[in-house]
Amino acid sequence: MNWSVLAALAFAFALDVPAASPPKSAECLTCHDDKGAAFQSSVHGSFSCTDCHTAIKGYPHPENQAKVKCDTCHNDPVSGVKASVHATASAQPCQGCHGDAHGILPASDPKSSTYASNLPRTCGGCHGDAKFAKQHKISEVYSMYMDSIHGFALTKDGLLVAASCSSCHGSHKILSKRDPASRTNRANIAETCGKCHAGPNRDYQAGIHGQGMATGDARAPVCTNCHTSHQIADVRTASWQMKTTATCGSCHGEQLKTYHDTFHAQVSALGYIETARCWDCHGFHDIRPANDQKSTIAKANLEATCGKCHSGVTKSFVSYQPHADRHNRQDYPILWASSIFMNMLLASVLGFFALHTLLWLMRSLSDRRKGRPAEGEI
């Protein structure tokens, strides 16, 4: 090559550098070659360095540059985070979840930290730390989630439709459950869960619990009251079914007490799954009061309900009282009277013979101490 051409080129470069157009990425990599490979394959790989590092106009550039503003392009996510519980989380809130700024991968990439099945681990970086949880007065939810039916499905089975953190909490604008606008606020839980569980949600809305919620009854339970929020178990497992009675009983204390007096409860307490628990008779999501014609415990439906377990059910059979209270004279007079009678029978028979036995014992011992008197002697 002609040296004059070279010189011309060099001159042109020299002129070009301090001019308005920013340096090419290749030039940046002369120094910042450590960023190159990751950046090339990142979601931003087609951009040049100065698309984000807008303040850099040439070389050499000042040491301390203004922070990259992600919201230049990602306005919604960034303003979401700014309004969320993570607003003050760190100086670089985006990188906390999306990882190294130069290697950000799209959420659809299995290697991405925000890929559905990687997300729990990403969030767990903070929310799986007991010290962190204590410091922020929140639960250490990572391990709870990982052992849940959602956690298993997503991370063990790779079932990508299974709920990940963001499915319920959202991704950028995560709000405290105390915030009425939060997806995990009590008022919005059914809708949040219902995004996937449409059937249960439809049933729940029709049932007394959903109706209670709709009319603003503060006592009405939402999904998480029964299923918990992070430890959600497979409802077909014995361990879950064993717990359900206590769960219902935490609100329905009186019913739990009366249930405990029945054979159903006695066998279920011993770990017998195939016995009637609350939801076997009452249903679960569309629980309705007995005066509702559609209720499983409406008079007309009792034979079908009891018949789920008992064969040969008759009208007479279903007059059985699964919540009979022997102390309630008004509603269960025969049971009440039987209870009184049995108590009196027990007390009188055992009391009488206890006395008989005691007197006998005393007399016999006295005889033995004195030396045995002759037959028939007093």
Cα angle: 227, vertex 229, 235; to 5 degrees: 30
Stretch that binds other proteins, among 110-118, 187-195, 204-212, 370-378 (CB under 8 A): 370-378
Determine the Cα–Cα distance for residues 329 and 120; give it in Å rounded to an integer.
Answer: 55
| Least Cβ distance, residue 299 to other proteins (angstroms) | 13
Q: Is 272 in the site for other proteins (CB under 8 A)?
A: yes
Q: Is 354 in the site for other proteins (CB under 8 A)?
A: yes
Determine the Cα–Cα distance for residues 23 and 16; give it in Å rounded to an integer.
Answer: 9
Count of residues engaged in binding other proteins, rule: CB under 8 A: 52
Buried b (16+ CB within 10 A) or exposed e, 235-272: eeeeebbeebbebbbeebeebbebbebbebbeebeeee
Q: Is 313 in the site for other proteins (CB under 8 A)?
A: yes
| Least Cβ distance, residue 79 to other proteins (angstroms) | 55
Q: Which of 135, 293, 319, 330 binds other proteins (CB under 8 A)?
A: 319
Cα angle: 41, vertex 47, 49; to 5 degrees: 100
**DSSP 3-state percent helix, strand, coil across the chain (nearest 5):** 55, 0, 45
Q: Give 161 or 269: the residue with its C-beta nearer to other proteins.
A: 269
One-letter identity of residue 244: T
Q: Residues 6 or more apart from 147 whose CB is under 8 A from it? A: 231
Determine the Cα–Cα distance for residues 342 and 336; give it in Å rounded to an integer.
Answer: 10
Q: Is 228 in the site for other proteins (CB under 8 A)?
A: no
| Least Cβ distance, residue 183 to other proteins (angstroms) | 40
Q: Is 26 in the site for other proteins (CB under 8 A)?
A: no
Q: Give 91 or 378: the residue with its C-beta nearer to other proteins.
A: 378
Stretch that binds other proteins, among 186-194, 212-220, 229-237, 258-266 (CB under 8 A): 258-266
Q: Is 321 in the site for other proteins (CB under 8 A)?
A: yes
Determine the Cα–Cα distance for residues 2 and 7; give it in Å rounded to an integer.
Answer: 9
The binding site for other proteins (CB under 8 A) comprises 260, 262-263, 265-267, 269-272, 310-314, 316-321, 324, 326, 332, 334-335, 338-339, 342-343, 345-346, 349-350, 353-354, 356-357, 359-365, 367-368, 372, 375-378
